């Protein structure tokens, strides 16, 4: 109710703002391109527009061209060329449809070549598994109820019950030390509805109830008057051993540009604790979770391939905690999951993904879902962690090769188009 008046403006201006990237690419291709080179120029400039959408003004690469290939053999190109490369390849394959009227043979052969090439790729094998058992918890707290004083602790109790299920000794003659305890339990983003500064008793209770199994959970914290959206690792005594602060924040969601000034006019970020909103953390960092070095990603940080590539040391796994309840139960959570799967495939790394309302999943290093909990369901899943693959080409090169290729294509297309004009 508090933000409903903003929804039409946000929808219209976000769509219009993102459309500018494409309009610039199309406009320049129409202005600078001539003859058959115009189509090649459009391929290059459209791809560069997608780069702009992914990188500029903090970036928002949602619904990119590569994302609809995730459940096809073409997704196996992600470790080699990344999402931007697969997007360019999509345009190279499909844009020749524009030539159907004048050059039908060229257009049809391009489509067939792309289709045959994609489906000729072999299916990825089943991944090797480690001996590390992990438990992912999905408490399923609707956003409208998540922070209500009379309801918020119900979801904490629910998460605790899911975390301890089956861990307590209940079989005669079975000592707890003999039980098959998980090596790690993962809760979603902002699972604990209080600041870390005041949560000592709560965290101790959580660790006690799960018999000292390490727990990674999401919580907010305050430091020197600023607030952070954080992931913390609890040890056997409920003490915080490691902290990761979210670095890539959501504009107008977790912070508002010139937040302190805007707060004077009653404008705050949706999830902000103060006028300025959350403060960003220092950037990508690794956590030692006992099952390997992990790169933590909070919520939509998993959307940005460049952020995952920015970590200085290759981790053994990715771990995402998120609260997709903001999206409701429509397409948003599914789209978010697809992008998380892309990060795993690009890096050749498994991912543990704990989502408040779903979709919680264990993702293998090929980007395939091994275990999951459906959207809007309450539950937990126990699974063994897949082993990582060797470092991929994309993890070493990032988006630079595809970006430079697009620049080169645009340069050649413009130069050839100018020659056509001069000769005419």
Catalytic residues: 189, 246, 299
**Residue 92 CB partners (closer than 8 Å, separation 6+):** 43, 110, 114
- Whether 249 and 209 have beta carbons less than 8 Å apart is answered as no
Distance CA 184, CA 362 (A): 13
> Integer distance in angstroms from the first to the last C-alpha of the chain?
62
Cα-trace Rg, the chain: 24
Return the C-alpha torsion angle 211, 217, 220, 221, nearest 10. Answer: 60
Which contacts qualify for 390-393: CB closer than 8 Å, 24 or more apart? 390/348, 391/314, 391/348, 392/79, 392/80, 392/346, 392/347, 392/348, 393/79, 393/80, 393/81
**Residue 424 CB partners (closer than 8 Å, separation 6+):** none
Beta strands in 291-347 (DSSP E): 293-298, 317-322
Which ranges of 214-295 does DSSP label H, i.e. alpha helix? 259-263
Angle CA(214)–CA(177)–CA(361) in degrees, nearest 5?
40
Can you read off the two tokens belonging to residue 212?
């000292």
Distance CA 159, CA 188 (A): 10
Which ranges of 33-77 does DSSP label H, i.e. alpha helix? 37-55
What secondary structure does DSSP assign to 196-221, as a single string? GGG-HHHHHHHHHHTTT--EEEEEEE
């Amino acid at each position: 109710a508090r933000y409903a008046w903003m929804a039409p403006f946000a929808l219209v201006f976000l769509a219009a703002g993102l459309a500018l990237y494409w309009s610039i690419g199309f406009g320049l291709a129409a202005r600078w391109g001539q003859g058959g080179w115009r189509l090649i120029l459009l391929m290059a400039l459209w791809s560069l527009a997608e780069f702009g959408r992914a990188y500029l003004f903090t970036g928002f690469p949602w619904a990119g061209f590569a994302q609809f290939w995730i459940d096809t053999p073409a997704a196996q190109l992600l470790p080699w060329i990344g999402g931007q490369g697969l997007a360019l390849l999509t345009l190279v394959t499909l844009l020749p449809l524009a030539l159907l009227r004048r050059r039908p043979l060229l257009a049809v052969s391009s489509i067939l070549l792309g289709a045959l090439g994609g489906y000729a790729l072999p299916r990825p094998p089943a991944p090797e598994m480690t001996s590390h058992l992990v438990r992912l918890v999905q408490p399923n707290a609707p956003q409208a109820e998540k922070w209500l004083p009379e309801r918020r602790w119900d979801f904490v109790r629910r998460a605790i019950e899911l975390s301890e299920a089956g861990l307590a000794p209940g079989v005669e003659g079975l000592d707890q030390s003999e039980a098959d305890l998980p090596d790690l339990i993962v809760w979603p983003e902002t699972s604990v509805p209080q600041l870390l500064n005041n949560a000592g008793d709560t965290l101790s209770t959580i660790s006690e109830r799960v018999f000292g199994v390490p727990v990674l959970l999401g919580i907010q914290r305050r430091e020197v008057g600023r607030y952070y959206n954080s992931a913390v690792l609890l040890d056997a005594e409920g003490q915080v051993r490691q902290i990761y602060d979210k670095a890539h924040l959501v504009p107008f969601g977790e912070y508002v540009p010139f937040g302190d000034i805007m707060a004077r006019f009653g404008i705050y970020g949706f999830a902000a604790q103060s006028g300025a909103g959350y403060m960003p953390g220092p950037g990508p960092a690794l956590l030692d979770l006992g099952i390997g070095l992990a790169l933590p990603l909070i919520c939509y940080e998993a959307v940005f391939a460049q952020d995952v590539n920015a970590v200085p040391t290759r981790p053994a796994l990715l771990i995402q905690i998120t609260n997709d309840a903001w999206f409701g139960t429509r397409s948003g959570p599914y789209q978010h999951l697809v992008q998380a799967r892309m990060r795993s495939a690009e890096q050749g790394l498994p991912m543990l993904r704990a989502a408040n309302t779903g979709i919680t999943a264990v993702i293998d290093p090929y980007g395939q879902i091994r275990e999951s909990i459906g959207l809007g369901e309450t539950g937990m899943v126990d699974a063994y962690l897949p082993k990582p693959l060797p470092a991929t080409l994309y993890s070493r090169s990032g988006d630079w090769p595809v970006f430079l290729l697009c620049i080169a294509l645009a340069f050649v297309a413009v130069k050839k188009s100018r020659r056509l004009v001069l000769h005419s």
